[in-house]
Amino acid sequence: MPRKLFCKISPFTYKISVVKCRAIRNIKNVLILSKIAKKKQTEPLPVLVYSHKSLIRRKLGNVDTQLQDNKAVNLAIAAPKVSNIMIRPGEIFSFWHLVGNCSQRKGYKEGLTISLGKPSSGIGGGMCQFTNLVHWLVLHTPLEIIEHHHHDGIDLFPDYGRQVPFGVGTSILYNYLDYRFANNTDITFQLITYTDEQYLCGEIRADKPLSEKYHIVSENEFFSQEDGVIYRNGEIFRNIINKRTGNLIKKELIKTNHAKVMYDTSNLNISTHAK
């Protein structure tokens, strides 16, 4: 039997592990502090590169609707902290550097979270949806993703009005699981985020036009059964296209999905494909 991780021995050892991880992250942050994007500009940059909006209150199995309402509050508090941030050449975007710890004192409420592969709740729940949106925007740019964590290996909820491919998501935890990207181009980018009654909305803008455009596509999707367990499979590609000629420059595999399905599978079409 494998030894239990220190962080999983008890709630106390978990808290010790969190303190340790946060301390290590704080030390590392000092070393790159000058590179982290901090400047904001209220005037939007002239070129709209990509925009997207994400439904806040979604049908997620039997999740308490109050957690969804609270998530709307949390996103409305966090969005202005990120909005209008400028990511200049050589700079790094850090989600947690801008948003900070989502505490009850700051007005955050108990919202939906994912813990140990299962739906849970916690103060500030909903921030993963925020970084999901940012990640989707960044995938449509030449910006380089340098820190990205997944809710790997699990498919928690059946599709309901899905707008982006399954698996294009993020997992974050203050402050040591962050979402970060670097601007290694000669273009200045700007991220604008806000909420309305229904959606978390985002735009990524630039100070000059891009020569390429980006399409994210999902291919080879199917459900399989392995040793009595149902898995969701597929591949996610990013097509980079020359805007002037329309020619495909590059097709990148950015994610391979093989996720255990955690909901009722009786209505799924189970393929005989092998893994």
Q: How confident is the model at residue 112 (pLDDT cuts 50, 70, 90)?
A: confident
Q: How far apart are CA 72 and CA 78, in angstroms?
A: 10
| pLDDT at residue 43 tops 60 | yes
Q: If you compute the radius of gyration of the chain from its CA atoms, what whole number of angstroms results?
A: 20
Structural domain includes residue 79:
yes
In this prediction, residue 2 carries a pLDDT of 62
- Domains identified in the chain, total number: 1
DSSP 173: B
pLDDT in tens, 173-194: 999 999 999 999 999 999 999 9
The pair of structure tokens assigned to 148 is: 């990205």
Report the run of H or E that residue 38 belongs to, with start and end.
Answer: none
In this prediction, residue 153 carries a pLDDT of 85
In this prediction, residue 273 carries a pLDDT of 54
In this prediction, residue 7 carries a pLDDT of 62
Q: Are the CB atoms for 152 and 188 separated by under 8 Å? A: no
What's this model's pTM, rounded to 2 decimal places?
0.93
- Supply the mean pLDDT for the chain: 92
In this prediction, residue 245 carries a pLDDT of 97
Structural domain includes residue 15:
no
In this prediction, residue 17 carries a pLDDT of 87
What average pLDDT does this structure show over 60-81? Answer: 89
- DSSP H helical ranges for the chain: 11-32, 65-82, 95-99, 127-138
Q: Are the CB atoms for 214 and 139 separated by under 8 Å? A: yes
In this prediction, residue 274 carries a pLDDT of 53
Position 133, amino acid: L
CA distances from 162 to 54, 55, 158, 222, 238 (A): 10, 10, 9, 16, 18
In this prediction, residue 1 carries a pLDDT of 53
What average pLDDT does this structure show over 117-136? Answer: 91
> Which residue range is the domain that position 188 belongs to?
33-210
DSSP 210: -
Structural domain includes residue 14:
no
Structural domain includes residue 250:
no
Structural domain includes residue 5:
no
Q: How far apart are CA 219 and CA 241, in angstroms?
A: 18
| pLDDT at residue 12 tops 80 | no
In this prediction, residue 16 carries a pLDDT of 87
Q: How far apart are CA 116 and CA 154, in angstroms?
A: 10
Q: Cα–chain-centroid distance for residue 46?
A: 26
Q: In what order do the strands lie in the sheet with 180-182?
A: 92-94, 180-182, 144-147
Structural domain includes residue 55:
yes
Structural domain includes residue 229:
no
Name the phi and psi angles at 251, rounded to 5: -120, 115
Q: How confident is the model at residue 15 (pLDDT cuts 50, 70, 90)?
A: confident
DSSP 5: P
Structural domain includes residue 9:
no
In this prediction, residue 74 carries a pLDDT of 98
Q: Are the CB atoms for 136 and 179 separated by under 8 Å? A: no
pLDDT in tens, 195-249: 999 999 999 999 999 999 999 999 999 999 999 999 999 999 999 999 999 999 9
The pair of structure tokens assigned to 59 is: 């049908």
The pair of structure tokens assigned to 100 is: 């900070």
